[in-house]
């Protein structure tokens, strides 16, 4: 009964490897079934080149394992928090992609400096606060998810318009309507992070893109009257 989401999670995890944004075993992707309130996620510490769909572990939205012989990713509680808090998402990805992780380690958001970023998301990719010692020592992974939700809610950020976040001193989480889209967003995040880094190397005083150019590029691709790409029949 879980083969569909196991396959989707498997495919998303392979994309992380293909995109080169999850070195070694440093990353994980999950795919959820909201009707059943479960999600399939990569098993902990298993290399990407040995993965199969059967390796995927299914857990419920409280993080309890319901199917699979292996231990789920150590980041499973973070995924569970995000599925509970962001009702429109169907996939979650965590990586340690190099440039995005560098921004996270610096405690810096990734500002929207140009139209490539505006095509990707609506404004800066935020960076959360650092977890407290108590949050780290008690339910660290769950609290990582809660810090993401806290930041989005306190700052009025729409997770559908900004499908990525940086955890200070840690790395990025991304999400999307499904697991494949979440993996695509993780790859897009690394690209805009690399562009921002190189832009600041060339011009440390570079300012963010204008609001009207941000609106134009984001809305033509993601808005209700979007006209980028081909219309579905």
Q: What is the largest CA-CA distance in the chain?
A: 54
User: What six digits make up the tokens of 100?
Assistant: 């995005």
User: Does an H or E element contain 38, and which?
Assistant: strand 38-41
Q: How far apart are CA 83 and CA 61, in angstroms?
A: 7
Q: How far apart are CA 192 and CA 176, in angstroms?
A: 17
Looking up tokens 């299914």 gives 58
Q: How far apart are CA 139 and CA 142, in angstroms?
A: 5
The CB density around residue 209, as the number of other CB atoms within 10 Å, is 21
Based on the residue annotation, tell me whether 119 is a catalytic residue of this protein.
yes
Strand ranges (E), 104-189: 164-167, 171-176
Q: How far apart are CA 114 and CA 71, in angstroms?
A: 41
Please report the sign of the dihedral spanned by the C-alpha atoms of residue 173, residue 176, residue 180, residue 184: negative
Annotated catalytic residue: which of 33, 60, 67, 119? 119
- Closest CA relative to residue 190, chosen from 131, 128, 130, 104: 104
Kindly list the catalytic residues: 119, 228
């Amino acid at each position: 009964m879980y083969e569909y989401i196991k396959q989707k999670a498997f495919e998303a995890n392979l994309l992380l490897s293909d995109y080169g944004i999850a070195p070694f075993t440093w990353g994980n992707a999950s795919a959820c079934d909201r009707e059943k309130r479960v999600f399939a996620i990569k098993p902990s510490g298993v290399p990407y080149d040995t993965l199969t769909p059967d390796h995927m572990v299914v857990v419920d939205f409280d993080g309890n394992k319901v199917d699979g012989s292996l231990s789920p990713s150590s980041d499973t509680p973070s995924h569970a928090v995000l599925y509970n808090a962001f009702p429109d998402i169907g996939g979650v990805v965590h990586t340690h992609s190099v440039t995005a992780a560098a921004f996270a380690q610096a405690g810096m958001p990734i500002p929207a400096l140009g139209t490539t970023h505006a095509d990707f998301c609506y404004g800066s990719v935020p960076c959360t606060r650092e977890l407290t010692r108590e949050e780290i020592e008690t339910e660290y992974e769950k609290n990582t998810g809660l810090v993401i939700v806290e930041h989005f809610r306190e700052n009025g950020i729409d997770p559908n318009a900004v499908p990525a976040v940086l955890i200070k001193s840690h790395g990025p989480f991304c999400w999307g309507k499904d697991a494949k889209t979440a993996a695509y967003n993780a790859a897009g995040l690394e690209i805009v992070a690399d562009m921002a880094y190189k832009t600041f190397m060339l011009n440390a005083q570079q300012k963010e893109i204008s609001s009207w150019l941000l609106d134009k590029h984001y809305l033509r691709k993601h808005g209700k009257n979007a006209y980028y790409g081909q219309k579905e029949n």
